[in-house]
Amino acid sequence: MSFLLWIANDPFVSIFAEGLNLRHLILSLLAAFAGALPASSAFADVPALYGRADDVWDAQISPSGRYVALGCSPGGWPGICVFDAEVPGDPRILRGPEGNRMLNFYWASDRHLVSNSATFERLAVSSGLQDFEFRRAISFDVTTGKAVILLENVGLYVDTTQVVSTCYAKPDKIMMQLTTRPSGDAPIGSKIRTTKGGFVTEYYEVDLNTGRGKLMKYHSDSVIDVVVDQHCNPIVNVIYNDQRGEFALETGDKKRRFFELKNTPVWPMDVMGLSDDRQSVVVQADYAEHYGLHRIRLSDGAIEPMKIDGEEVGNLGVLRDPVTDAIIGFSYIDDLPMHTYTDPQLDTLQQELTDILQMNVRIVSMSSDRSMMTISAEAAGKPIQYFLYDAAISELSALGNIAPYVAVQETGSVTEFSYAARDGLEISAYLTLPPGKNTEDGPFPVIVMPHGGPEARDYATFDWWPQAYAAAGYAVVQPNFRGSSGYGPDFRDAGFGEFGGKMIDDIVDAIGWAETSGLSKGGSACVLGASYGGYAALMSALRASGKVSCVVAVAPVTDIFAHMGRYGSDSASYKYWERYVGGNKFSTPEMRKSVSPVARTAEYSIPVMLMHGKSDMVVEFSQSQNFAKAWGARGGLTFVEMEGQDHHVRSTKARHTILSESLRFLDANHPGRR
């Protein structure tokens, strides 16, 4: 296994803000991997400007505050840049073996940085050749550069990345778990071999220096998760059997079951950890009338919603102290990702930094004593910036920018608006206009971009993809159609059974809004999306003849039933998708065909472009391949196969390909206004 050491020699760039000392910008990466910036006519080559991997994509401080790890992209692929505050200067670049894709990273100790990564491999199994995405956790010793793969000694698992706890009281040790799924549901599981019963979970104490795991606990009774203390001793076991629809919580010594649910075919809650007083379990519930953050008392299993100042907090994420694990705040999205802190010290600091930088500020990570922090700052449609904050001297240092080559240019404005769907339901959406333009400068050629998921949402953060099309002269509409997350359970549930129905109508109705509002040039739009968004783009053309001028679908689901067929029909994953698709859609061949673009290729009368990574294991490459086969030899279809690319489109090669190919296609079928 070889790892690349890369040295950055770019000059640092100084900025100043009233109220903070910014003179010592020791860690700026503004142009470290950007290469030469485009000339003043930057928008002349949109793919070269916007089709780049994120320059900096995360910033994590080590527990002591000595090291800063930045997600970076040397060579156009995600890597990690590690800086040593005691030895200022060049970063150490950490990368996995060839073909490795880094997904995220975290500090497991003060000298060990763990990166979860993925590789695509084709193996011979009993049924023949089968594609796998192996997920591995790699521990890097940042003092030596040594790297080891965690849990290599336990056998061939598909996924060995699930960390239960970093075991704060045990330096250089973490607790990990491996879960085997029932036979027939192997794609979700973590082990290639499967079992006849429910979940089998194994817990290991893992040495970060050697990567070896020592078996700690063994469960064969559907234990799927565990809450532990600082010494990694189990406090609460989480039990789930999706085949029987059972969910329960029991004490870590397995002596008492204090909460239980029956008939829960879909996962009912995520267990977040213990409450501040350690008398309750904090969960994010999503079943029956329970939605959002709740407490479940250890003593009697009573469940109640969490409240702040008497108000229920709803479906928020939890922010925890890295040492005590206590809840110190919550995360949510309101146009931009937001943090709110119950800890007065952090709340005051975040507000001060927000006032100074005049941007939305979030604390990304902090040292154990809170003396050093990494923060992010962003505004609507503007690339995220990362900073290092030294609390002892109130010093802020620039770490880098997600897209420095775009940051020096004017980006397209991003604004929220809403429109009424045909049945009266209010749909929230975001509009990105060409740089320097407003709605009075219209009409524009319009692109409608539905998001993936579908249980996800778009918001006003900087996004290279719609910004690129805006730079090419398009107005880009991103509708958060029914079924999207972030608008409450009723809005989400309104999408159930409407996977290829009203969810698609909401997207088509965005085209109608653009026409009636005077935004749209010619009254039609090209619909473009990825994953579920790619499916939605294909379905929009089938449900809105005359309104859709073309379709660009990246990694689309074209046969939802084949996609679901990877899971056992009695599994929670299958039932999750069935809830969105609608059980009645399975009853007849005609109903199945109605929501399957692959079965309706003969109905397309407009140009269609498909793009798909051949190493995609989220939506398999065969979904696009089979659509192309069904289309046949007749004209109108462009199929771009992306060798070595996965589902997440994080590399420069993938992004540049998508932009260059799609803009060429758009210029021919739905020209922009340069």
**142-149, long-range: CB within 8 Å, 24+ apart, which pairs?**
142/62, 142/67, 142/69, 142/82, 142/84, 142/92, 142/94, 142/111, 142/112, 142/113, 143/111, 145/3, 145/5, 145/92, 145/94, 147/1, 147/3, 147/94, 147/96, 148/208, 148/209, 148/210, 148/211, 149/211
Residue 438 contacts by C-beta under 8 Å, 6 or more apart in sequence? 413
Same domain, 92 and 13: yes
Are 405 and 49 in contact by the 8 Å Cβ rule? The answer is: yes
* Residue that is last in its domain, among 389, 409, 429: 409
391 lies in the same domain as 418: no
What are the backbone angles phi and psi of residue 472, rounded to the nearest 5°? -85, 5
* Residues 71-107 pLDDT 10s: 998 888 888 999 998 887 888 888 766 667 888 999 9
535 and 392 co-located in one domain: no
Confidence bin at 15 (pLDDT 50/70/90): very low
With a cut of 80, say whether residue 399 has pLDDT above it.
yes
* End residue of a domain, out of 362, 383, 409: 409
**How much of the chain exceeds pLDDT 90, in percent?**
59
Residues 475, 382 within the same domain: no
In-domain check, residue 186: no
Residues 426 and 405 placed together within one structural domain of the fold: no
Q: Which residue range(s) make up the domain with 431? A: 412-557+603-669
183 assigned to some structural domain: no
**Residue 550 pLDDT level (bands cut at 50, 70, 90):** very high
Reported as a pLDDT band with limits 50, 70 and 90, residue 587 is confident
pLDDT higher than threshold 70 for residue 27: no
Paired tokens of 390: 């030294």
In a domain, 661, yes or no: yes
| Cα 212 from Cα 452, distance rounded (Å) | 37
Query: Would residue 83 count as lying in a domain?
Result: yes
The residue with greater pLDDT, 478 or 184, is 478
Burial of 222 from C-beta contacts in 10 A (0-12 / 13-18 / 19+): buried
Same domain assignment for residues 553 and 516 = yes
Nearest to 480, CA basis, from 461, 452, 519: 452
Residue 455 is assigned to a structural domain of this protein: yes
> 485 to each of 57, 284, 507, 555, how far by Cα in Å?
23, 14, 16, 21
Inter-axis angle of helices 532-543 and 502-516, nearest 10: 70
The structural domain count of the chain equals: 2
Residues 646 and 521 in one domain: yes
In a domain, 445, yes or no: yes
404-462 pLDDT tens trace: 988 767 899 999 999 999 999 999 999 999 999 999 998 999 999 999 999 999 999 99
CA distances from 124 to 192, 233, 563 (A): 12, 39, 21
CATH classification of the domain holding 553: 3.40.50.1820
> Does 651 share its domain with 553?
yes
Same domain, 378 and 469: no
pLDDT at 25 exceeding the cut of 70: no
At 4 the pLDDT is 28
Check whether residue 349 and residue 452 sit in a common domain. no
Let me know if residue 241 belongs to a domain. no
* 502 plus 647 within the same structural domain: yes
Domain end among 409, 424, 443? 409
Q: Both 68 and 101 in a single domain?
A: yes
What local confidence, expressed as pLDDT, does residue 124 receive?
66
Does 9 map to a domain? Answer: yes
For residue 115, what are its two tokens?
A: 């990166």
Inform me whether the pLDDT recorded for 518 exceeds 80. Answer: yes
Asked whether the predicted pLDDT for residue 189 surpasses 70, the reply is: no
In 472-571, which residue ranges form alpha helices assigned H by DSSP? 489-493, 502-516, 532-543, 560-564
